[in-house]
Every structure is written in C-alpha cells, then in structure tokens.
Structure 1
C-alpha cells in the first residue's frame, strides 16, 4: 500500500532515513510514468501536519540524496506533498487514528464475493482493521495485510477535523517551485533530476 512495486521500494529505502531524520513519516511513494516520470512522495509529521515549508525542506533533503544515489533512470520530477484531507491510509496506525471517519478499502482478494468495502472505521484489533459497513449489523474485520488500497472519504466531518490547526488545504511542493502548486500545476515539471 505504501509502495506498489520494486522501484517504489528502492525510492523508499533512500527516502525513509532522510524523512526520519527530519521528523517526518513517509505515507506513500509512487513512481509514475508518462512523458516525464514523477516521483510522488506523501509525508507528514507525527501530529499529522505538513505545511509548505515542511514539504520544501523534505524535498531539498531528498533531492540531495537522489542526486547522489540516482534511484530513477532518466529524467523525473520530484513532488513532495502532504497526504491531503481524503488521505490514503497505508499503516495500521492510520486506521486507528481516523477511527469514526468514513473510508473506502479495497482488498487484494475476494471476501464474501467482494473486494471493495465502504464504511465507518471502527479501530484496529490484532493486525486487523475494523469497519462498520452501511446496512450491516456486525463490524467487519479485514486483515491489514489483505488491503491493497485504502483512503478516507471526503465528508464535512472529515474536512472540519482535518483543518483544525492546519490553517487550510493540503500543501504540495514541487522541487524548484517558489510556492505551493495547486492541482492544475501538479503535472507541470519545474525541475528535472537525473
């Protein structure tokens, strides 16, 4: 969930120690292909915040390491951002932290003839995610290791909770930019690395 493939894992092996040293947790890493590759890294501090200055600081530190170690062949854009309000849930602790909020979960296998579940997170128990599914009386128990993708659902309650103390929307820092990039700018490369 945090990574999808070997290339993501190679980037994570280099990025995790850098992020840890700066006090950040890497939530998700994706190396996206296209006209120009993008290395997308979502991170946050222990308190769940990540402002523009944090994104820029982590981006600069990662750029230094990636320039030396060269984990991606060819040109690419490094994009460091917060997980956002409707964030991905990639660690068991994320499910516990967001208990009481609505989430969508997709499994890597069929359970009772379905892979996708949507409901209110009800905590964690012995390596399992608990979720109250709409229209069902019992709480579903989903093994964490079976989860392929999970994400919070954007609701008014989630927006209100997420913005407490955060001062606004989730920032995105694209290496080399002078300010936060909004969604329309996210695909516009501002710096290429080897």
Structure 2
C-alpha cells in the first residue's frame, strides 16, 4: 500500500520540526480552485514566529525537492494552527483538559452534532465536556469514535 502525500510529508517534516524544538501539529494537502496547497502546521509552548516558519519551510522545501514525492505543482505553507488549533492526537486532547473546546460529531448525540464546552476528561474511548446551557452546567460524554473534528475554541466570557 502506498503512502498518501500527507503521510510522506509528515515523515519528512517531523524530524525537521522536532530538531528545531517545535511540534508538528498537522499536515494538509488540499486543492483549492485550480491550485494545490501543502500546509504544514507547527507550534510550541511559547507560540510560533515568522523566523521559525521560515526555517521549517526552507529545510522542508530542500527535502521535498530532493525526494520529489508530489506529482502536482503546489504551494507550501508553513504556519501556526492559530488560537483554534485542531485536536487530532491523543496528546492534543490531554493537553486541552481544562480548556474550552469545540467538537463536531459524525452523528447526533442527544439530538446535537456540535458541542462547545470545557474538556473535563479524555480517554481513548470517550471525552467528557462540561457545557453551559443558559446559566446551567451540564456534562456530556462523547465516544471518541463519533468525533468528526475537535479544536480549541476561543471564548468571550
């Protein structure tokens, strides 16, 4: 079975990013209009600056030019995932315990597919969120296999 572009780029990018003391958050390879974009999201405990994005981009470009794993012409974009960073890996969820997150599910749970609340706990089987509905707090348990996407969420209260 051959690897996808994102799997290959992840293999190439991870050692570069880690050598610079950063974290590889995600790799996307998407077509927008007629153009292809290879997006590499990096982060660190103290945030990311333009120099770090440039260093990763330069080193990754060299590897991609040498290995040439992508058939199409594409634009390489190395950036921070931003304040609403996606939660994809187990360690992302563990770091997010106690923080406000947004979850979308594949199928409705209690007639809803979108949830925002404080992440109380995480296990490989389920997450527990504390939702605030009007002025009341309520806990909901969401099986991890039903999570379509999850991200940190910015709150204004």
Q: TM-score range by the shorter chain?
A: 0.7 to 0.9
Mapped to 1, the partners of 2:124 and 2:26 lie a distance apart of 23
Mapped to 2, the partners of 1:53 and 1:39 lie a distance apart of 19
| 8 Å CA contact retained: 1:133, 1:139 | yes
State the superposition RMSD in angstroms. Answer: 2.5
Q: Which residue of 1 aligns with 2:109?
A: 111
Mapped to 2, the partners of 1:133 and 1:78 lie a distance apart of 38
- Kindly indicate whether structure 1 or structure 2 has the higher relative contact order, using CA contacts under 8 Å at least 6 residues apart: 1
Mapped to 2, the partners of 1:14 and 1:121 lie a distance apart of 32
**Distance change (3 Å), C-alpha of 1:109 and 1:14:** farther
Mapped to 2, the partners of 1:48 and 1:128 lie a distance apart of 29
Q: Which residue of 2 aligns with 1:12?
A: 10
TM-score (norm 2): 0.80
**Distance change (3 Å), C-alpha of 1:144 and 1:17:** farther
Mapped to 2, the partners of 1:145 and 1:69 lie a distance apart of 35
Q: Which runs of 5+ in 2 are unaligned?
A: none
Q: Kindly tell me the number of residue pairs found equivalent between the two proteins.
A: 152
Q: Which residue of 2 aligns with 1:37?
A: 36
Q: Report how far residue 93 of structure 1 moved.
A: 2.3
| 8 Å CA contact retained: 1:102, 1:152 | yes
Q: Report how far residue 49 of structure 1 moved.
A: 1.8
Tell whether 2:137 aligns with 1:140: no
| 8 Å CA contact retained: 1:107, 1:146 | yes
Normalized per residue, the structure richer in strand is 2
Q: Please list the CA deviations of residues 32-56 of structure 1 after superposition, one character each: whole Å capped at 9, or x if unmatched.
A: 21322110111112x2521111111
| 8 Å CA contact retained: 1:129, 1:141 | yes
Q: Which runs of 5+ in 1 are unaligned?
A: 158-194
| 8 Å CA contact retained: 1:31, 1:39 | yes
**Distance change (3 Å), C-alpha of 1:146 and 1:70:** farther
Q: Which residue of 2 aligns with 1:78?
A: 76
1:134 is paired with a residue whose SS is: strand
Q: Which residue of 2 aligns with 1:22?
A: 20
* Greater mean alpha carbon deviation, residues 17-26 or residues 74-83: 17-26
